[in-house]
Chains A and B, each alone.
Chain A
Amino acid sequence: MTVTTTASAGPRDDREPAPATPPSPRKGRRPGRALPYLLLLPALLLEILVHLLPIVIGVAMSFRELTQFSLRDWGAAPWRGLDNFRLVVDLDAPAGQALLRSFVTTCLFTVASVGLCWLLGTAAAVCLQDTFRGRGLLRALFLVPYALPVYTAVITWSFMFQRDNGLVNYVLHDQLGLLDSPSFWLIGDNSFWALLTVSVWKGWPFAFLVVMAGLQNVDREMYEAAALDGAGRWQQLRRITLPSLRPVSQVLVLVLFLWTFNDFNTPFVLFGKAAPEAADLVSIHIYQSSFATWNFGAGSAMSVLLLLFLLLVTGVYLFLTSRERRVSRG
């Protein structure tokens, strides 16, 4: 508290005597203005070191021919200009086609996963809004997937998805008879649904948590007023709850989108380093292009394109949502 008042007060005090003694205000002003930056400096330096530097190196790598021959002395790897980018976006060549297919798969997967996470999270949060016996227990139970370590949880899922001995086929085929024959979940086209299931199972508790927090800010009186005016539960949800949750949902969807689109752990643990085509997410695809075929230049080029795409989507999303907010406010 003291920091803010004194820091902002400093320059104001100096401003009046300024014309009389010109050098002194400069003296006084500088450290005052610099203080916030000085305080930010350590964080900034670490941020550069931990986040920005690897990104810059990654971008530099995308312009080089970095293979097993040049790996050891990677500073001296030959420059290839835009060749790596040309290779990975050339839709007439197999590499470009594979990347495009993987990109489309990832988009479908992300839309489905984020949509389901949001829907489940919001539904559960709204249902648990009113107090009833066992609410605390349910809330805790719903958060369990979020609290489990990713690897442990996904490995467990991979056991459950095994064809011959897995729990999923035991329930769906042996017990309920929903499937004519036991299905494969970890290879072939079904792998998409397996991946989506795990992703939603893992992601929706976060949506639940955030929406639950957002609901605490909705004024209870609005519901009472609406009820007096004859609005039913559905109308209350549509006209009060959802509009009030809008700012929370907007941030939530963005965060879920970025996490899901970039998710590496889930497919990697579920399928190993060669994911089936139906579940070949971009992150796994880039990993395979870099580590399995030892072509780090092409892998980096794909990463840079992914980064640009995510930046673009985030930028457009933030622009649209902030404009919407301005419009609705004005």
Chain B
Amino acid sequence: MRRIRARAVRAAAGGAAVLSLLAAATACGGGTSASGGSGESSKTLTYWASNQGPNIEADKKILEPELRKFEKRTGIKVKLEVVPWSDLLNRIMTAATSGQGPDVLNIGNTWSASLQATGALRPWDEASLEKIGGRDRFVESALGSTGAQGQDPAAVPLYSMSYALYYHKKMFAEAGIAGPPATWDELVATGKKLSRDGTWALGAEGANLSNNIHQVFVLGKQHGADFFDAQGRPDFTSDGAVKAVKQYVDFMAEDKIIAPGNAEYAQNQSLSDFAKGRTAMVLWQAAASTFASQGMADDEWGVAPVPVASGAPGQGTSTNSMVAGINLAVFKNTRNVDGALKFVKFMTSDEEQRLLCSTYGSIPPVKAAQTDPAFDRPELKVLRSTLATSAQALPQVPNESQFETVVGTAVKNLFAAAAGGRAVSEESVRAELTKAQAQMAQG
């Protein structure tokens, strides 16, 4: 009796073990085939869009009808996923490592050279560029932020933006200030008049690493510093770089025209402060739609070029913006190159550019689309002329994204020190930047 029972139990156990093994094996099998699914058929594409609108749902609402339009024309179905900015770079890196990713994706244009170095993106050689109408369709400055010089671009420009000075008209009028400042000295002088009774002159996002980089990069240009030498090696501690970072942090530490609380801002709180009339100026890119969503009417704010020392923006030390924007890239592992190129052609077509850029409040990097009256608003005129005449691309070097993190963190730490009432000196700035540079050397 016992024996029979033992045998039955053994058989049952063996069976169960085999079953669970099979289950494990099939689970693995299922995993591989499922993850290999991207672009397997020439009739589908996976597209990772970045978050351009007020939120991810809004992006879906804006993009879905366009994707259906594309499907109707080409028969290719596009699966859309809008990836939040906080995840996008990690998602792309994971995709690069595993080889399983989207077919087409949006990238921050400043990451172009970094991602180019990973080899995860399909290079845009002349033949590919011809398929979407050729290089000449795009604005030159936007093409300058698509990868390292001398190499085929890693991506093509999709939406362009530049920085401008947004000012609160009512607050200016109440302080008796006639117009927006054109030089930094004027900005500080104006700022001191505006910073009183709980209101402040300038807003900053002290804990937002990318924003910090955009600001100190431009100030660096104005002080003749580049943050990278000609060989692409980090050079964060040059006198110009130290001066640039100090000048930016000093708006809070020394000039006291930025509220100390801004040191911990990282989620566009400075824009809500502006809309609420607590801050009179912000240096921002394409802020119109955000102001509108905060309940501000278009005539309540004005736009001027970001100040430069000379008062007249231009090239070199008169640079007053980085080339901001989004690029569109094709993932190297795509199995549907043809479809992917068609989709890029569609997204960069004059028609889509007009539609999407005017919806998002950005500037089309496609020349022909810029002539649309939608881009003649005073704000976009300033942004467009900045982009055309006085904007420069962030360094197109492989470790650009590391630069954003480590120098952005250095500026964040300095803002934290300034907000805590500690003095910010050339030495303390240099010390933070030295620490940042040491982190780069690890690699």
Contacts from A to B (Cβ < 8 Å):
2-3, 6-7, 9-10, 13, 31-32, 35, 38-39, 41-42, 45-46, 49, 67-69, 71-74, 87, 93-95, 98, 162-164, 184, 186-189, 272-274, 276-277, 288-289, 291-295, 298
Contact = CB atoms under 8 A, between A and B. Distances in A.
Contacts of A38: 13-14, 17
9 contacts: A13-B3, A38-B17, A69-B117, A93-B438, A98-B439, A186-B264, A292-B406, A294-B399, A295-B443
A188 B416 contact: yes
A277 B435 CA distance: 12
9 A-B pairs with least C-beta separation: A94-B438, A42-B20, A187-B416, A6-B6, A292-B405, A164-B261, A274-B409, A188-B416, A293-B402
Contacts of B402: 292-294
Contacts of A87: 442
Interface stretch (B41-49, B89-97, B160-168, B223-231): B89-97
Most chain B Cβ neighbours within 10 Å, of A7, A38, A292: A292
B233 interface: no
B97 A10 contact: no
A274 B408 contact: yes
Nearest to B25: A45
Nearest to A74: B97
A49 B24 contact: yes
Contacts of B420: 184, 188-189
Nearest to B4: A6
A7 B442 contact: no
A18 B21 CA distance: 35
A159 to B, nearest CB: 11
A21 to B, nearest CB: 16
Given A2-B5, A42-B24, A188-B419, 14 more contacts: A6-B5, A6-B6, A9-B2, A71-B97, A94-B438, A95-B439, A95-B442, A98-B435, A163-B260, A186-B264, A274-B409, A294-B93, A294-B399, A294-B402
A45 B408 CA distance: 44
B442 A295 contact: yes
A290 to B, nearest CB: 10
A69 B417 contact: no
B406 A272 contact: no
Most chain B Cβ neighbours within 10 Å, of A46, A74, A94, A95: A94
B399 to A, nearest CB: 8
Contacts of B52: none
B398 A298 contact: no
Contacts of B405: 273-274, 288, 292-293
B442 A72 contact: no
A9 B9 CA distance: 13
Contacts of A273: 209, 405
B129 interface: no
Nearest to A7: B6
A184 B409 contact: no
Contacts of A294: 93, 114, 399, 401-402, 443
A257 to B, nearest CB: 29
Contacts of A164: 259, 261
B331 to A, nearest CB: 11
Given A38-B14, A272-B207, A71 B93 contact: yes
B182 interface: no
A187 B207 contact: yes
B363 to A, nearest CB: 29
B443 A187 contact: no
Contacts of B209: 273-274
A39 to B, nearest CB: 6
Contact of B9 (A6, A73, A162, A272): A6
B443 A67 contact: yes
Contact of B10 (A31, A46, A186, A292): A31
Contact of A276 (B119, B266, B398, B413): B413
B393 to A, nearest CB: 19
B283 interface: no
A187 B421 CA distance: 13
B435 to A, nearest CB: 6
B418 to A, nearest CB: 10
Nearest to A276: B416
Contacts of A163: 260-261, 264
Interface string B382-416: 00000000000000001101100110110011011
B119 A72 contact: yes
B10 A68 contact: no
B118 interface: yes
A2 B9 contact: yes
Contacts of B408: 274
A186 B417 CA distance: 12
A95 B118 CA distance: 24
A46 B442 contact: no
B132 interface: no
A277 B401 CA distance: 21
Nearest to B95: A72
Interface in B1-54: 2-3, 5-6, 9-10, 13-14, 16-17, 20-21, 24
Interface in B77-124: 90, 93, 96-97, 99, 114, 117-120
B341 interface: no
Nearest to B97: A71
Given A187-B412, A295-B442, A69 B6 contact: no
A216 B362 CA distance: 65
B142 interface: no
A35 B399 CA distance: 55
A72 B120 contact: yes
Contacts of B14: 38
A288 B419 CA distance: 24
Given A273-B405, A274-B412, A294-B402, A184 B17 contact: no
Contacts of A10: 3, 6
Contacts of B442: 87, 95, 289, 293, 295, 298
